[in-house]
Amino acid sequence: MSILTLEPITTDEEKEMPLSNAETAETTRSLFTHQTGQALVALGTLFKHVPPFNESVGRTTSENLIALGKKLQGMK
């Protein structure tokens, strides 16, 4: 199994300026939060629309996962 790593797109100006530890931590945290939101939206959509899951997982659970995921995606 391979691990996929994502790096934010940077401009040439940003490459010349090193980031402080706080800025690096904030960028990493923001990326992690966004990706967690994407995963929750995907999971909620799966639970909502795929028959084996939507029979056993409550509709409100699916909607809550989607709502929480969208909130996390919007955070910066």
The least confident of 5-9, 56-60, 64-68 is 5-9
Q: How many CB atoms lie within 10 A of CB 2?
A: 4
Distance CA 12, CA 32 (A): 24
Q: What is the pLDDT of residue 47?
A: 92
The least confident of 17-21, 47-51, 63-67, 68-72 is 17-21
Q: What is the pLDDT of residue 28?
A: 86
Cβ contact 38:73 at 8 Å: yes
pLDDT in tens, 28-58: 889 999 999 999 999 999 999 998 888 888 8
> Average pLDDT of 15-40?
81
Residues whose CB falls within 8 Å of the CB of residue 64, separated by 6 or more in sequence, listed in order: 44
Q: What is the pLDDT of residue 53?
A: 86
Task: Please name which of 68, 76, 7, 5 lies closest in space to residue 38, comparing C-alpha atoms.
Answer: 68
